[in-house]
Amino acid sequence: MRNTILLTTLVAGCCACLAQSSPKIYNTAKQKLAAGHQLVGATVYSPDPNMYCAMANSGYDFTWIEMQHSPLTYGDVAKMIWACRGASAMPFIRVPDATESDIQKATDIGALGIIVPTVDTVEKAEAAVRWSKYPPQGRRSMGSGQYGALYGNDYRQTINDNMVVVIMIETPIGVDNAEKIASVPGIDVIFAASTDLGNFSGHKIGDPEYEAMVKRIHDVTLAHGIKLGGPQMWKDRAGFTFFQGPGETQLIRSGAQVNLGITPGRGAR
């Protein structure tokens, strides 16, 4: 009997130790990435909380909240995330740049993913990680925000394990530096930006020069054990698992066409 009690105590103690050592993960998008699943995020331009909640609960894995190419403010986005707390899609924000100010505000209002555009250098990739994470992995400052009410009183202890850092390679300079960029610790996803790769290089999808840039990003990213991202139209390209989906206007148009039973293009102006 005494041996049974001792064994039960030891097992309970070991289970408690394992529970303490296992990170608390509430970012389901990060869980899916780690499991090798494909993720799609709907792109959000509108400040309307009802629109945001409709998108965040429509089956997407995350929301790509667009603050680089929209007039959205951090106040707008804070209200959107709060209004739809508990949504199935995790809130990711594409910040305007890898600055402490931009990333600090995005994380404080509850972003679980930080997407940084136009990463050409190691320094910018390092900044993306530095300001997204608390010490010792980063240099994020401890301040106030709605993050605690969203994710719990242990947010400070858990968020580094839940944050997803996405950096975008969008230029030939970034492609040339891809190996060095991918060597930066703490990057979860490298995104091959289809439109701006063409914009900055002068080549289009299908051109040998364009495809060579995409292949380099692909090969370097996967060789470093980092997840590879791109537009949703690249869902069938080998190795890609993280995708930017359409925005509100395109989704409304597509939904209306389904509702009306018309094919795309009919009645278009």
Show the domains of the chain with their CATH numbers: 25-260 (3.20.20.60)
pLDDT > 50? residue 252: yes
Helices (H) and strands (E) in the chain, counts: 13, 8
CB 124 within 8 A of CB 102: no
Could you report the per-residue pLDDT of 182-195, keeping only the tens digit for each? 999 999 999 999 99
Active site residue 69: yes
Could you report the per-residue pLDDT of 58-87, keeping only the tens digit for each? 999 999 999 999 999 999 999 999 999 999
| Residue range 4-28: mean pLDDT, rounded | 61
| pLDDT of amino acid 7 | 46
Q: How far apart are CA 121 and CA 30, in angstroms?
A: 25
| pLDDT of amino acid 193 | 95
Is pLDDT larger for residue 74 or for residue 7? Answer: 74
pLDDT > 80? residue 203: yes
Q: At 18, is the pLDDT very low, low, confident or very high (cuts 50, 70, 90)?
A: very low
| pLDDT of amino acid 8 | 47
Is pLDDT larger for residue 14 or for residue 204? Answer: 204
pLDDT > 60? residue 14: no
| pLDDT of amino acid 246 | 97
pLDDT > 60? residue 266: no
- CA 83 to chain CA centroid, nearest Å: 20
pTM: 0.90
| pLDDT of amino acid 264 | 72
Q: Output the DSSP codes for 229-242.
A: EEEGGGTTSTTEEE
pLDDT > 80? residue 225: yes
The chain-wide mean pLDDT, for the chain, equals 92
In DSSP terms, 240 is beta-bridged to: 228
pLDDT > 90? residue 89: yes
pLDDT > 90? residue 119: yes
Could you check whether the bond before residue 23 is cis, i.e. omega within 30 degrees of 0? no
Could you report the per-residue pLDDT of 120-171, keeping only the tens digit for each? 999 999 999 999 999 999 999 998 899 999 999 999 999 999 999 999 999 9
How far from 210 is each of 170, 177, 181, 197, 201, CA to CA, in Å? 11, 16, 19, 7, 8
| pLDDT of amino acid 6 | 45
Of 37, 69, 203, 224, the catalytic one is: 69
pLDDT > 70? residue 11: no
CB 103 within 8 A of CB 68: no
